[in-house]
């Protein structure tokens, strides 16, 4: 039923359900907030995670909102526990998006982390300060074109030993 309701309410939405308990929705980037609030009103009020995938060949970043209902009894007519993967793609160069904190306060640290690791700017986020990292990186480290091995050789390999006897 959820499938039909989504199809009638929203235009350009693609729905796939190939694996068990897993509903994949794709939508253009301006539709996410309305779909999120629609699902929240339906009872899918538990935001598990916001993830990001770097599709470097398509020059796009994909934001993935994963949510489900806390209890399936909360959703009328629900027969199985459903995990909803809501996906949208944004441009890879200078990526910007809007925050979803107003709908889901749990989104705050996830958006902060995506900002740090992928360089996505979430407009309206109260604090996009560094969360996990200590150094500044030219390319955000979770992007596919950031080569960790090369970085390690450049940065840590160039630190000299302190004492003479360690050199041999």
Partner 1 sequence: MRELELYYGPQHLGMVGNFSLTLQVEGDKILKASANPGYLHRGFEKLMEKRSWIKNFPMVCRINVIEPDSMEMIYSMGVEKLAGIEVPERAHFIRSIFLELARVGSHLFGLWAYANMLGFDTVAQWAMYHRDLVLDLFEELTGGRVYHIYIWPGGVRRDFPEGFKDKIVKTLHTIGGCVPDYDSTFFNNRLFYERACNVGKVSRAEAMEMGGVGQVIRATGMAYDIRKVEPYAAYDRVPWNVPTRKEGDAFSRIWIVRDEMIESVHMIFKLLDEMPEGNVYNRIPNPFKWRIPEGEAYVRCESSRGELGLYMVSDGGKEPYRAHFRTPSYSHGLTVLEKALEGANISDVGNIMMSLYVVAPEIDR
Partner 2 sequence: MDRNQLKKWFQNPVKMAHKYSLHVVYFCTGCGIIEIPPSITARWDAERFGIIPVATPRQASLFIIAGYVSLKTLRSIIRTYEQMPEPKFTVSLGSCPINGGMYYDSYNTIKHLEKYIPVDGMIAGCMPRPEAIFVGVTHLWTLIDKDMADGYKRYRSNYSAYRANQEKILGKLEWPPLFPIHGEE
Site string (111-150) toward partner 2, x via CB under 8 A: ----------------------xxx-x---x----x-xx-
Pick one of 127, 166, 167, 168: the residue that binds partner 2 (CB under 8 A): 166
167 binds partner 2 (CB under 8 A): no
How many of the other CB atoms lie within 10 Å of CB of 113?
18
- Least separation, in Å, of the C-beta of 93 and partner 1? 20
Name the nearest CA neighbour of 25 among 53, 67, 58.
67
Concatenated DSSP letters for 77-143?
A: T--S--EEEEEEEEESSS-EEE--TTT-TTHHHHHHHHHHHH--EEET-S----SS-SS--SS-TTS
Which 62-101 positions form the footprint of partner 2 (CB under 8 A)?
A: none
Q: What angle do CA 111, 112, 118 make, to 5 degrees?
A: 80
1 binds partner 1 (CB under 8 A): no
Pick one of 18, 145, 163, 168: the residue that binds partner 2 (CB under 8 A): 163
The tally of CA atoms less than 13 A away on the side-chain side of residue 144 is 12
For residue 10, the partner it binds in partner 1, partner 2, none, with Cβ less than 5 to 8 A by kind, is none
The residues, ordered by sequence, that sit 6+ positions from 94 with a Cβ below 8 Å of its Cβ are none
145 binds partner 1 (CB under 8 A): no
Nearest 10 degrees: Cα torsion 113, 119, 124, 129: 50
Which 76-115 positions form the footprint of partner 1 (CB under 8 A)?
A: 81, 83, 85, 104-106, 108-110
Which 12-41 positions form the footprint of partner 1 (CB under 8 A)?
A: 18-22, 24
In the complex, the residues that contact partner 1 under the rule CB under 8 A are: 18-22, 24, 45-49, 51, 53-54, 64, 66, 70-72, 81, 83, 85, 104-106, 108-110, 130-134, 141-142, 144, 146, 148-149
């Amino acid at each position: 039923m959820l499938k039909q309701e989504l199809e009638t309410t929203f235009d350009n939405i693609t729905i796939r359900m190939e694996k068990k308990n897993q509903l994949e929705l794709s939508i253009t980037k301006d539709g996410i907030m309305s779909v999120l609030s629609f699902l929240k009103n339906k009872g899918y009020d538990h935001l598990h995670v916001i993830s990001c995938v770097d599709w470097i060949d398509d020059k796009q970043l994909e934001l993935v909102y994963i949510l489900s209902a806390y209890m399936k009894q909360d959703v009328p007519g629900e027969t199985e526990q459903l995990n909803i993967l809501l996906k949208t793609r944004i441009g890879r160069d200078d990526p910007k998006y809007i925050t979803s904190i107003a709908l889901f306060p749990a989104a705050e640290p996830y958006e902060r982390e995506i900002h740090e690791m992928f360089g996505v700017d979430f407009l309206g986020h109260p604090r996009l300060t560094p969360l996990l990292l200590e150094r500044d990186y030219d390319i955000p480290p979770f992007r596919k074109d950031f080569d960790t091995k090369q970085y390690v050789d450049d940065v840590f390999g160039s630190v000299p030993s302190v004492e003479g006897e360690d050199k041999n």
